[in-house]
Amino acid sequence: MPPEPQTVIEVLESTARRQGSRPALRVKRGGEWRTTSWTEYATEVRQVAKGLLALGLQPGQGVVIMGYNRPEWYIADLAAIAAGGVPTGVYTTTAPDQVRYITDHCEAAVAVVENRGYLETFLKIWPQLPKLQAIVLMEGESHEDRVRSWGWLRDLGGGVPDADLDARLAAQKPDDLCTLIYTSGTTGEPKGVMLSHHNVVWTARQLANAYEFGDDGNVISYLPLSHIAEQIISFHGTMSKGGCTWFAESLEQLGENLREVRPQFFFGVPRVWEKIQAKMQAAGAANPPLRKKLVAWARRVGLAAGYAEQGRGSKPLLAPLAKKLVHSKVRQRLGLDRAVICATSAAPISLDTLEFFLSLGIPIYEVYGMSECTGPTTFSVPGRYHTGKAGFAIPGTELASAGEQQEIRMRGPHVFLGYYKNEAATRETLDEEGWLHSGDVGTIDENGFLKVTDRIKELIITSGGKNIAPQLIEGKLKGIPGIGQAVVLGDRKNFVAALLTVDPERLPGAAAQAGSPAKTPEEAVACPRFRAFVDAQVDAVNGTLARYESVRKHTLLAKQLTVEDGELTPTMKLKRRVINQRYAAEIAALYEGAPAGAAVAG
């Protein structure tokens, strides 16, 4: 029999009773890892929840949270839920006008911010937020009116009877609204995705069961907690089983923290895996010749062994030797020697990156999903995965590729309640039969594996009437040595073109292959040898595409596309409209007779 539906706080309290003094959260402060037990965690949530009651938080009111991953983020989120409020995470890269929009739209009565920097953002927009009654600082103090410290909020909760909080908890039901996840959106204003307690609890439990999270498992939290993927994995996933979440000190220190934590589960968006790959390739370029030959041999064996595990070929006899001599050492250096699951999602990942790690004995299990289905709708697991495909439907859910455009649709307990204050958008996305329309295009093979090919709204239709999936081509172009990002163009044009950014971390190895002296992206785009090398690589990619898909012209860019500049969403998806506007001159040149392979250093 499946377990009875629960609220999020019921899961927390159940796990705390079961796990007691075992570690729940670990964070590095003053150079040392400090531990919060499950009992302490649940107690702290109640104390802060009572503080929110004392502040006057009413059922259904919003609580916005802005800051990097840390225990206070988790506690603020759960305390808001316990008090009957609705927590909403805000990306730390969000522009002030978007912070104002989200805070106003979710009717936040309280904002919880990490530090003075984020406080300044809220102080500037506070006059435009009449419903915002108080701001709480996770660290530090402030003398501004209605700005309170974390310690003050905790102490305030001491004067609230437990019975008051228990009454709020007793009123909560599994199908009630639990949290809002605002989609970063590639166009337009963000939409508030309404997730119920049952959405969150059920999905987290399914993921934890599939990946065999144990009560002694370790997960490292470092991706934005305003995104549903990080919440389901490191927040609710560990809470459903009682494992321990370690908080990375920063994205820059992730590599060092990984080696300290050695997690059993590691989730990385494609850009994280690409950066690890680039650093490994740059380090490998400095190896002595004999070591290079050994690694190359081990990678060939590892790739064949990885595909054999998927039933695609036979396992090489020397696979154990390659694992002993190379693969195990690589995993140890990365801090992934104990990792049972290495996963990726949130954006397309190139086959080159997948095969790079597969060849080193590190299969990356792909997950497909969206905020509207509480994160995952498919996943891959050891013994059942297919490199280059996004996994199979979560047990207990339905998955379909339907309609003329083969839109991916899903139905089940993970599907959201709708968009907050936006019935029109809800009706467009959620049909009367309960199917969630993803807006993505894909196919499902005979074994149930999903292949995502593109977004319906991003499909390129050439002037000749050909439908082209840009993400498919972009994935191949990103596999070119030295290239970081790719943007495929051609809508209403008579051929396909592309913008390619030069990745500074991948450049050294690519320049060596090209025989180029370039040390920086600016030097690379100006170097004839490097450009000729990329030209040849693009030609090789074209050999894998249909003629009408082939990239006829491309431009090299020295500048990276970034979240900060508004060219990428916080989950690293391309904001095509912004990119098209920002690089209008370069794009125009591609279609106005500029020579193929032209380079732009701007």
Across 289-311, b (16+ Cβ under 10 Å) vs e yields eeeeeebeebbebbbbbbbebbe
Do 432 and 534 share a structural domain?
no
Sorted by sequence, the CB contacts under 8 Å of residue 545 that are 6+ apart come out as 473, 476, 551
Q: Please check whether residues 92 and 148 belong to one and the same domain.
A: yes
Q: Could you say which residues of the chain have pLDDT below 50?
A: 186-187, 594-602
- Which string of b and e fits 183-192 if b means at least 16 CB within 10 Å? bbebeeebbb
Q: What is the pLDDT of residues 220-279, one digit of tens each?
A: 999 999 989 999 999 999 999 999 999 999 989 999 999 999 999 999 988 889 889 988
Q: Does residue 1 form part of some domain? A: no
**How wide is the angle at C-alpha 588 spanned by C-alphas 583 and 593, nearest 5°?**
140
C-alpha span between 372 and 235 (Å, rounded) = 18
Q: Are residues 376 and 387 in the same domain?
A: yes
Q: What is the pLDDT of residues 400-450, one digit of tens each?
A: 998 888 899 999 999 999 999 999 999 999 999 999 999 888 999 999 999
**Domain CATH number, residue 183:** 3.40.50.980
260 and 271 share one domain: no
Final residue belonging to a domain, choices 226, 241, 266: 266
pLDDT at residue number 599: 46
Domain identity same for 168 and 287:
no
Among 266, 294, 317, the domain-final residue is 266
Q: Identify the helix (H) or strand (E) that includes residue 63.
A: strand 62-66
Q: Is residue 416 part of a domain?
A: no
Rounded CA separation 407/393 (Å): 15
The bridge status of strand 496-502 relative to strand 483-489 is antiparallel
Give pLDDT, residue 572. 75
Rounded Cα gap, residues 514 and 534, in angstroms: 8
Same domain, 115 and 244: yes
**How far apart, in whole angstroms, are the C-alpha atoms of residue 472 and residue 156?**
54
The answer to whether residues 85 and 183 belong to one domain is: yes
Distances from the Cα of 106 to the Cα of 85, 110, 182, angstroms? 11, 11, 10
CA distance 42 to 79: 9
362 domain-assigned: yes
Task: Give the chain's domain count.
Answer: 3
Give the pLDDT confidence score for residue 163 in this predicted structure: 97
Half-sphere exposure of 167 (CA within 13 A, CB side): 9
- Rounded Cα gap, residues 68 and 428, in angstroms: 33
Does residue 417 form part of some domain?
Answer: no
Q: For position 543, what pLDDT does the model report?
A: 86
**Token representation of residue 526:** 């100006």
Query: Do 595 and 554 meet the contact criterion of CB atoms below 8 Å apart?
Result: no
Residue 275 shares a structural domain with residue 315:
yes
CATH number, domain at 336? 3.40.50.12780
- Last-in-domain residue among 231, 266, 301: 266
Same-domain check for residues 282 and 405 = yes
Q: Which domain holds residue 243?
A: 8-266
Say whether both 111 and 229 belong to one domain: yes
SS3 content of the chain, % helix, strand, coil (to 5): 40, 20, 35
Residues 65 and 154 in one domain: yes
- What is the pairing mode between strands 62-66 and 86-90? parallel
Q: Is residue 493 part of a domain?
A: yes
Phi first, then psi: what are they for 532, rounded to 5°?
A: -65, -35
322 and 192 both lie in a single domain:
no
Q: What is the pLDDT of residues 118-128, one digit of tens each?
A: 999 999 999 99
Q: How far apart are CA 212 and CA 217, in angstroms?
A: 9
pTM for this one? Answer: 0.83
Residue with tokens 């950066």: 275
